[in-house]
Chains A and B, each alone.
Chain A
Amino acid sequence: SQQGEEDPQALSIQEGENATMNCSYKTSINNLQWYRQNSGRGLVHLILIRSNEREKHSGRLRVTLDTSKKSSSLLITASRAADTASYFCATDEGETSGSRLTFGEGTQLTVNP
């Protein structure tokens, strides 16, 4: 069953603005991952943050993890029209990384040029 909840479900911003998406989960995790899905395509892995990490950066992406609140956020800075996609968080509850993933409901991001 899905344990992740994401908000907002949909987000529409202008190019150059920052986009923040949030994810909450219910169980203990080994790591939390963020994926992007362009319309009609498969998922692209963006970033992985382990349960003992609090923040991670990758280019214009910044991910935070608060295990006490069982929540994570994904920040995309200086957004571009090409960032338009659906973004999903996924939790790995296994003892080793890369095991079964449970996905959140996703946020549909639209970046207007």
Chain B
Amino acid sequence: SAVISQKPSRDICQRGTSLTIQCQVDSQVTMMFWYRQQPGQSLTLIATANQGSEATYESGFVIDKFPISRPNLTFSTLTVSNMSPEDSSIYLCSVDTGVQPQHFGDGTRLSIL
């Protein structure tokens, strides 16, 4: 199964700043996704990261706040922009190889002061 490396694993940031989270997979994958998990809650899909084109965002999420890049089939980044305390969450990337269930990275635990 695909091995996913997500960086950083955690961070504490000041409000108003931005943080870029990286997701690296050890093999080429068809689809990559970004999820948010607010404290004590379930996962909500932010967007599908499309290779070579703009990400597809879910309702309630916009590119200006969560710009996503996917330059190739093994790598994606999610930026959380102009952060506020409400953005304190775990951010997870997942991958779909097309033949196996989605696999998740360990997540990035983000706290905004």
Contact = CB atoms under 8 A, between A and B. Distances in A.
B42 interface: yes
A43 B101 contact: no
A21 to B, nearest CB: 13
Contacts of A104: 42
A45 B103 contact: yes
A101 B104 contact: no
B95 to A, nearest CB: 9
Interface in A25-70: 33, 35, 40-45, 48
Contacts of B41: 105-106
- Say what secondary structure dominates the interface of chain A: loop
Nearest to A89: B42
A102 B45 contact: yes
B107 A103 contact: no
B97 A98 contact: yes
Interface residues of A, number: 25
Contacts of B109: 40
B96 interface: yes
B53 interface: no
A106 B44 CA distance: 12
A83 to B, nearest CB: 19
B106 interface: yes
B42 A98 contact: no
Given A33-B101, A40-B109, A42-B105, A98 B44 contact: no
A2 interface: yes
A99 interface: yes
Interface string A80-92: 0000000010100
Interface of A: 1-2, 4, 33, 35, 40-45, 48, 88, 90, 96-106
Interface of B: 6, 30-31, 33, 41-45, 48, 59, 92, 94, 96-107, 109
Top 9 closest A-B pairs, CB basis? A98-B96, A42-B106, A43-B104, A42-B104, A103-B43, A103-B42, A45-B101, A105-B42, A42-B107
